Chains A and B, each alone.
Chain A
Amino acid sequence: MNEILKLLVQRVALGLLLLLLVSVLVFVGTEILPGDVAQSILGQAATPTSLANLREELGLNDPAPVRYLNWLGGVLTGDLGTALSNGQDITTQIGLRLGNTMFLAFWAAVVAVPLAILLGLLAVRFRNRWPDKLISGVTLASISLPEFFIGYVLIYFFAVKFRWFPSVATVYDSMSLGQKLNAIALPVTVLTMVVLAHMMRMTRAAILNVMQSAYIETAELKGLSQFTVIFRHAFPNAIAPIVNVVMLNLAYLVVGVVVVEVIFVYPGMGQYLVDHVAKRDVPVVQACGVIFAAVYIGLNLIADIVAILTNPRLRHPK
């Protein structure tokens, strides 16, 4: 048990180190590249004096490492600074939006994960026959489709032609859960389709891998039905790789959510990030970038930990 605990602590520490390095990278990405923040706020017509004043106010005259440490200190104490474009407090703004984004991603995961596992099992049961081929074909197509294509096709038919769902996904606190779910039905569908293909394909591969073991052959020779073999013998042994697949794909939701929020004008983190990239509002972009990266690294870390817990062979690295 101690061994496992030690390994887990190591992984978490590694994850935190990675996150720290990522914060350096995000900071360097916005600070050292050519492009002066003061200049981009004030525009080309700025006088040298006003430029100098603004640089002073934003602390741009300090050397980069000092500014990084100041910023990092703020991030660690929950102070993400103020937005350049409208002077709002970034922490408050993100507090309002992060919950919305999590709500959207949560429901997408609730729909996508069981569906992907079910389809994966079906594909294995009928492998190399038409259900498997159909599922692989749809998978190939959905990997190639951009999110906005799926999104606008759904809006065109289900919001405009049939009027079943709203085309703009607005949620407020006063809405009931049912109303909220109706509002986010279309964005959740898009996100589901985006991650479903990968998740299903990898589930199929994970189970097929287990199917080649000797004990599966034994089960088949005993005369068990295909479904019993898959559910009772193959599936339990494929759980670890499947959980891994699910986590990695949930991490992919982080990217999908940015585009989907813009398509459906959803008040979440993605929309907030994109709006402020266009306004060249660096503090907001840095804050959002670090948060997105933290979620992404966190999910990958969970995938790692689950893999270690469920697969004893990984506990003794060479």
Chain B
Amino acid sequence: MRIPISALLGLVLTGGFFLMALFAPLIAPYGLSEVVGDVWESRSAEHWLGTDNIGRDLLSRMIYGGRTTILIATLATILSFTLGSFLGFTAAVIGGWIDQVMSRFVDLLMSIPSLIFALVVLSVMPVNITVLILVMGILDSTRVYRLSRAVAADINVQDFVEAAKLRGENRTWIIFREILPNALSPLVAELGLRFIFAVLFLSTLSFLGLGVQPPASDWGGMVKENKEGIVFGIGAALVPAAAIAALAISVNLVADWVLNRTSDLKGGRGG
């Protein structure tokens, strides 16, 4: 199996970001909210990326911020996938009015832009990490629902599923043993895209001041903290913004490759 260079680059970078998130406290030279210098110091041997708006080491903040971003985005993606694919499979297998009700409700949720709905909900909910994960995961599960329902509806009419139904297997068996294994490859390709969406969504919320609350901070929040420096020609806010872009692009490269590979596989089997 030959991995194209772009995918390899994506894999290495994505792996690097996740390792950084895992071992953040070991790598970071200073503490998360430790004030170690002047406001917006430029790059030096002690502070590789300089210091931030209240004199904290920017590199350490970046490492801890990446951990927060990746952790929340990962959990939200897991939630949206579990919820969306389970409900999508169920709707496809059971069909009838249950399918109708769930699908129309999802249509309704998707007729409001996610960001606007998230802002509406966050105006009354307490803003903490659990609420963020729930809001992001539930709003994004609508997209996973649509995909997995469509995939499962295709599989549901195939002979081996008919056979399982005639054998008298129950719905749990049909969903987990017949449909899930066959629906896995299109879902995995979608996983990367949903993760990117979660990263960008969280960063946007934090940038607007409605995501992760200080003193903890994710990359979007760090852009907000340091944005005042831009007009003085201090680029501290660009560092976390670039990191978000780099993470999203590397995951995208991997997802693109997986997507191409799975569609090649389908072609190889004769559609």
Given contacts A140-B256, A144-B245, A255-B116, contact A282 B196 (CB under 8 A): no
Residue numbers in B under 8 Å from A255 (CB-CB) = 113-116
Residue numbers in B under 8 Å from A149 (CB-CB) = 238, 241-242, 244-245
Chain A residue nearest in CB terms to B122: A277
Closest CB of chain B to A299's CB: distance in Å?
11
Q: Which of B83-91, B157-165, B202-210 makes up part of the contact surface?
A: B202-210
Point out the residue from B108, B121, B237 that lies within 8 Å of A152, measured CB to CB: B237
Q: Which of B28-36, B182-190, B223-231 makes up part of the contact surface?
A: B223-231
Interface size for chain B: under 10, 10 to 19, 20 to 34, or 35 or more residues?
Answer: 35 or more
The reply on A266 being an interface residue by CB < 8 A is no
Point out the residue from A161, A259, A296 that lies within 8 Å of B208, measured CB to CB: A259
The reply on B101 being an interface residue by CB < 8 A is no
Chain A residue nearest in CB terms to B119: A277
The reply on A7 being an interface residue by CB < 8 A is no
> CA separation between A104 and B195, bound complex, in Å?
30
Q: Interface digits, B208-221 against A, CB 8 Å rule (1 contact, 0 not)?
A: 11100000000010
Point out the residue from A33, A148, A277 that lies within 8 Å of B207, measured CB to CB: A148
A window 3-37: CB within 8 A of B: 18, 21-22, 25-26, 29-31, 33-35, 37
Residue numbers in A under 8 Å from B126 (CB-CB) = 35
Chain A residue nearest in CB terms to B200: A146
The reply on B111 being an interface residue by CB < 8 A is yes
The reply on A160 being an interface residue by CB < 8 A is yes
Contact assessment for B242 and A156 in the assembled complex, using a CB-CB cutoff below 8 Å: no
The reply on A300 being an interface residue by CB < 8 A is yes
Selected A-B contacts with CB under 8 Å, 15 pairs: A26-B117, A33-B121, A35-B126, A145-B245, A146-B203, A146-B204, A146-B220, A259-B204, A277-B208, A278-B210, A292-B112, A292-B116, A296-B112, A296-B113, A300-B111
B window 114-130: CB within 8 A of A: 114-117, 119-126
B window 90-141: CB within 8 A of A: 108-109, 111-117, 119-126
Residue numbers in B under 8 Å from A155 (CB-CB) = 230-231
Nearest 4 Cβ contacts at the A-B interface: A144-B248, A149-B241, A35-B124, A285-B123
Closest CB of chain A to B243's CB: distance in Å?
10
A window 131-146: CB within 8 A of B: 140-141, 143-146
Which residues of B line the A interface, CB within 8 A? 108-109, 111-117, 119-126, 196, 200, 203-204, 207-210, 220, 223, 227, 230-233, 235, 237-238, 241-242, 244-245, 248-249, 252-253, 256
Q: Interface digits, A218-249 against B, CB 8 Å rule (1 contact, 0 not)?
A: 00000000000000000000000000000000
The reply on A262 being an interface residue by CB < 8 A is yes
Residue numbers in B under 8 Å from A285 (CB-CB) = 119-120, 123
> CA separation between A287 and B108, bound complex, in Å?
18
The reply on A293 being an interface residue by CB < 8 A is yes
Q: Interface digits, A106-120 against B, CB 8 Å rule (1 contact, 0 not)?
A: 000000000000000
Residue numbers in B under 8 Å from A254 (CB-CB) = 113, 116
The reply on A289 being an interface residue by CB < 8 A is yes
Contact assessment for B241 and A146 in the assembled complex, using a CB-CB cutoff below 8 Å: yes
Residue numbers in A under 8 Å from B249 (CB-CB) = 140-141, 144
Contact assessment for B116 and A293 in the assembled complex, using a CB-CB cutoff below 8 Å: yes
Given contacts A33-B121, A285-B119, contact A292 B208 (CB under 8 A): no
Contact assessment for A152 and B112 in the assembled complex, using a CB-CB cutoff below 8 Å: no
Residue numbers in A under 8 Å from B123 (CB-CB) = 30, 276-277, 280-282, 285
Closest CB of chain B to A275's CB: distance in Å?
10
Residue numbers in B under 8 Å from A145 (CB-CB) = 245, 248
Contact assessment for A156 and B122 in the assembled complex, using a CB-CB cutoff below 8 Å: no
Q: Interface digits, A256-279 against B, CB 8 Å rule (1 contact, 0 not)?
A: 001100110000000001101110
Closest CB of chain B to A285's CB: distance in Å?
4
Given contacts A149-B241, A152-B238, A255-B115, contact A280 B108 (CB under 8 A): no
Closest CB of chain B to A169's CB: distance in Å?
13
> CA separation between A152 and B241, bound complex, in Å?
9
Contact assessment for B233 and A160 in the assembled complex, using a CB-CB cutoff below 8 Å: yes
Contact assessment for B108 and A153 in the assembled complex, using a CB-CB cutoff below 8 Å: no
Closest CB of chain B to A85's CB: distance in Å?
12
The reply on A286 being an interface residue by CB < 8 A is yes
Closest CB of chain B to A167's CB: distance in Å?
5
Closest CB of chain B to A143's CB: distance in Å?
7
Closest CB of chain B to A263's CB: distance in Å?
8
> CA separation between A37 and B122, bound complex, in Å?
13
> CA separation between A153 and B227, bound complex, in Å?
11
Closest CB of chain A to B257's CB: distance in Å?
12
> CA separation between A259 and B211, bound complex, in Å?
14
Given contacts A22-B111, A144-B196, A155-B230, contact A277 B210 (CB under 8 A): yes
Given contacts A277-B210, A280-B124, contact A161 B223 (CB under 8 A): no
Residue numbers in B under 8 Å from A30 (CB-CB) = 120-121, 123-124
Residue numbers in A under 8 Å from B114 (CB-CB) = 255
Closest CB of chain B to A23's CB: distance in Å?
10
Besides the known contacts A35-B125, A146-B207, A167-B230, 19 further A-B residue pairs in the complex with CB atoms under 8 A apart: A25-B108, A26-B120, A33-B121, A33-B124, A37-B124, A140-B252, A140-B256, A148-B241, A153-B238, A258-B115, A274-B210, A277-B122, A277-B123, A285-B119, A292-B113, A293-B112, A296-B111, A296-B113, A297-B111
